[in-house]
Amino acid sequence: MSESIEWVCDAERFAAIRDDWERLADLERTPFVRHAWLASWWAAFGNGRLRICALWEDGELAALFPLHATPSGLAGLTNEHTPLFRPLARGRRQLERVIDEVLDQPYDLRVEALPADHLALEVLTERCATRGRRLLVVLQHTSPIAETADYASRLSSKTARELGRLRRKMEREHRAELSLLRRPPELEPELQLGFEVEASGWKGRRGTAILSSPRTDLFYRLIARAFHDADRLRLSTIRLDGQVAAFDLCLLDNGRMYGVKFGYDEQFRHLAPGLVLQHGEIERCCELGLDAFELLGDDEEYKRRFSTAKRPHYSLRAYTGGPVSLARYGYRRGVWPILRRTYRSLPAKARNLRPRARIVR
Would you place residue 350 in the very low, low, confident or very high pLDDT band (cuts 50, 70, 90)? low
Confidence of residue 355 (pLDDT cuts 50, 70, 90): very low
Has residue 339 got a pLDDT over 80? no
Task: Tell which residue, 236, 231, 232, has the closest CA to residue 280.
Answer: 236
Please, which pLDDT band fits residue 343 given cuts at 50, 70 and 90?
Answer: low
Average pLDDT over residues 187-213: 91
Q: What is the pLDDT of residue 48?
A: 87
The stretch 218-222 carries a mean pLDDT of 98
Confidence of residue 234 (pLDDT cuts 50, 70, 90): very high
For residues 284-305, average pLDDT: 94
pLDDT band of 357, cuts 50, 70, 90: very low
Q: If you average pLDDT over residues 264-268, what whole number do you get?
A: 93
Does the pLDDT at position 218 exceed 70? yes
Q: Tell me, what's the pLDDT at 336?
A: 64
Strands (E), the chain: 3-8, 49-50, 52-57, 60-65, 67-70, 73-76, 88-89, 109-115, 134-147, 176-182, 233-240, 243-253, 256-264, 292-294, 309-319
**Amino acid at the residue 265:** D
Q: How many residues comprise the chain?
A: 361
Residue 320 clears pLDDT 50, i.e. is over it: yes
Protein fold of 145-310: Aminopeptidase (3.40.630)
| Rounded Cα distance, 61 and 103, in Å | 20
Residue 335: its pLDDT value, please?
Answer: 72
> For residues 11 and 43, what is the distance between their CA atoms, to the nearest angstrom?
9
Q: What is the pLDDT of residues 35-69, one digit of tens each?
A: 999 999 999 999 889 999 999 999 999 999 999 99
Q: Is 306 left (phi over 0), alpha (psi -120 to 50) or beta?
A: alpha
Q: What pLDDT shows up at residue 353?
A: 47
Three-class SS state of 291: coil
Question: Domain 3-132 belongs to what topology?
Answer: Aminopeptidase (3.40.630)
Q: What are the tens digits of pLDDT across the range 60-109?
A: 999 999 999 999 999 999 999 999 999 999 999 999 999 999 999 999 99
Confirm whether 3-132 and 145-310 share one CATH topology: yes
Please name the helix (run of DSSP H) or strand (run of DSSP E) that holds residue 280, with its range, or none: helix 273-288
Residue 248 has pLDDT above 50, yes or no: yes
Spatial separation of the C-alpha atoms in residues 282 and 181, rounded to whole Å = 10
- Separation between Cα atoms, residue 76 and residue 101, nearest integer Å: 15
Is pLDDT larger for residue 176 or for residue 337?
A: 176
Q: Pairing state of beta strands 243-253 and 134-147?
A: unpaired
Amino acid letter at 178?
L
SS3 138: strand
Mean pLDDT of the region 150-163 = 92
Q: What is the CA radius of gyration of the chain?
A: 21
* pLDDT digits 0-9 by tens, 7-32: 999 999 999 999 999 999 999 999 99
Would the CA dihedral through 256, 257, 260, 263 be positive or negative? negative
Query: What pLDDT does 361 receive?
Result: 62
Q: Are 243 and 250 in contact (CB under 8 A)?
A: no
Tell me the helices (H) and strands (E) count for the chain, helix number first.
15, 15
Could you give the CA distance from residue 292 to residue 119 in angstroms, rounded to a whole number?
21
Reply yes or no on whether the pLDDT at 146 is more than 70: yes
Give me the mean pLDDT over the 237-259 stretch.
97
Task: Give whole-number Cα distances, 262 to 42, 84, 199, 334, 354, in Å.
Answer: 22, 17, 10, 36, 17
Average pLDDT over residues 195-217: 91
Is 356 a residue whose pLDDT tops 50? no
User: Span 131-142, mean pLDDT?
Assistant: 93
Q: Domain map of the chain by residue range?
A: 3-132, 145-310
